Amino acid sequence: IEAVYIYAICVSGIFAAFFLITFRSRFVQFVEYVNLLMFKYVIIPQILRRHSSFGPWTLAGIIVNTTYISANVYCLEFWKMTATEVGLRAANLALINMMPLYLGPHLSFLADLFGMSLKSFRMVHRSAGIVSFVLVLLHIFAVIAGGIGDFSLRVPENLYGVVGGSALPLLILLSIPTLRKPSYELFLRIHQALAVLLTCATIRHLSSISHFRWLYVYIFVGIVSALLVFQCGCVVFRNQTWGREFARAYITRFNDTVRVRITVSRPVEVKAGQYINLWIPSISWYIFQSHPFVVTNWAEGKQGTLELFIQPRGGLTRELFSHGTLDTRDAVPRRAFFSGPHGISIPVVEYETILMVATGFGIAAQLPYLRKLIHGYQTCKTRTRRVHLVWQLQSLAADIGLAAESLLNDALDEDTLDNSYILCISIYVESEGVAKVPFGQRATIYPGTADLEGILQDEVTGKYIQRLQTVSEERGKILMMVSGSGALRDHLRALVRPHLNDGVRLQELEFQPSNDSTRGWNFCWLRLKPRPT
């Protein structure tokens, strides 16, 4: 390259850099405006409401899936190929779409790797599986339509094709929530076993094709092997420190709740809202029976103890309950293994007001954020000036109510700085016979259901935040965090949308309780501590 061209490129680059620096603030404003429009008209609105087996579908989800399906249809090029050629193209596309499904044995690790929430990555995983299934069906129909000889199962190519083609629809069927609900662990192991069967059948089916290019398969196997070694190395690193024993789990139960305290071999940094996959060999009835649990405690930096607050339902959670002791002093230390921490932590420190909404066991997902916000307020590391926790219960239950009492009281005790506080707790009880009971200035029990629309309106207007009258102070942003039933989350989407221009944002946490997690409880009172004077 001549010196003149080099000089021209450098001068142009300098002027471009000055231009970008000058208009940087406007560019940031433009990005924020586009982001607001996306939330208001694409991400928040629901085109199809939530149903028992599917939904809800947002416009963003419909656009992404339509684009994905259209790309596969375009690659088929059925308008210029014969039926046999389309069938072969469909088989190749099915293999390509199935490859991301085999990147790792656990979706939590892959979700972290791609910077996605577990819920979003499961949607990607499910969409890729369904598209692969449709492409395999198209391949089968094309082979049958071609009518090349008799279709005999004595031919290995046909036999393994049928085996693989049978395993794929079973994988799709077992992904239906109704079928996998009885046992999370059993569903997961059957799902993985069918995936292994599909892999073996596909390899034997392709082995009979003389012109198949195995180089790409070898490259993919190398990538998967490297990811598997890296994941196993992370698990070993988390669970074992030279000269120290493995992690120990101490299990206690209170009525119908379970609390697990894990002392880890190597201190680990857990961000607010993250979860771990736990396996306790002495409790699980078969090997590698793990389950995801959100970590309810939080500390700045690394910590040597992880605390879990668990709702016993079935499988491993019911086994944990049966092995729990009533007194923490009688808890038996059990060897435990875990992976993680997994999940995305929401950046809450940039918001002036945090409105936390939970139903039932959803309180477990809010607790670490409570402690992080209170710690940030005390150390002047957050802009947050008000935290309002709204907890909806069907009754003041003896199980979850009293079990969470100490956790909430700990948060109230920590929220004291120069005789000021930012935390306010409102507990709403749907059962009859409950009267309004204030506990000091920071915690109140109300009868009935929460008027979330009115609560949100009060927070938007800044009713409870004192501002200087002599200074024109700009109102800060508001974050609504929800961990509750599907109906509640859908309701909050509708409430938040009109207030997006006011700086309100909605975030659904990684852990969401089941819709029936607040049913069948006995009546009992909570005893929250009043604000110390």
- pLDDT, tens digit (0-9, with 9 covering 90-100), for 373-412: 888 888 888 888 888 999 888 776 544 555 566 667 777 7
List the strands of the sheet with 423-429, edge to edge.
437-439, 443-447, 423-429, 386-393, 353-359, 478-483, 504-508
Closest among 169, 155, 159, 252 to 200, alpha carbons compared: 159
Q: Is there a contact between 509 and 346 (Cβ–Cβ < 8 Å)?
A: yes
CA 13 vs CA 7, 19, 156, 447: distances in Å: 10, 10, 62, 65
- CA dist 283 and 289 (Å) reads 9
409-415-416 Cα angle (round to 5): 120
How many C-beta neighbours within 10 Å does residue 31 have?
10
- The whole-number pLDDT of residue 404 equals 64
Q: Is there a contact between 15 and 477 (Cβ–Cβ < 8 Å)?
A: no
Q: Tell me the three state secondary structure of residue 216.
A: helix
- The whole-number pLDDT of residue 418 equals 62
- CA dist 531 and 527 (Å) reads 13
**Interacting residues of 94 by C-beta distance below 8 A, sequence separation 6+:** 132, 135, 136, 139
How confident is the model over 450-463, as pLDDT tens digits?
889 999 998 888 88
Compute the half-sphere exposure of residue 429: CA atoms within 13 Å on the CB side of its CA: 22
Please report, in angstroms and rounded to a whole number, the separation of the first and last CA atoms in the chain: 77
**Interacting residues of 361 by C-beta distance below 8 A, sequence separation 6+:** 309, 311, 400, 513, 517
How many C-beta neighbours within 10 Å does residue 361 have?
25
- The whole-number pLDDT of residue 481 equals 93
Q: If 0-12 CB within 10 Å is exposed, 13-18 middle and 19+ buried, where does residue 442 land?
A: buried
- CA dist 350 and 361 (Å) reads 27
Helix (H) or strand (E) holding 118, with range, is: helix 118-146
**Which residues of the chain register pLDDT less than 70?**
1, 52-53, 146-155, 180-185, 285-289, 396-407, 415, 417-419, 439-441, 467-474, 514-533
List the strands of the sheet with 275-279, edge to edge.
291-294, 275-279, 334-342, 247-254, 257-268, 303-310
- The whole-number pLDDT of residue 518 equals 37
Residue bearing tokens 């000889």:
149
Q: Is the bond preceding 341 in cis, omega lying within 30 degrees of 0?
A: yes
- The whole-number pLDDT of residue 395 equals 73
Phi, psi torsion values for 523, nearest 5 degrees: -80, 135
Q: Is there a contact between 488 and 359 (Cβ–Cβ < 8 Å)?
A: yes
- The whole-number pLDDT of residue 405 equals 67
This prediction's pTM: 0.82
How many C-beta neighbours within 10 Å does residue 519 have?
11
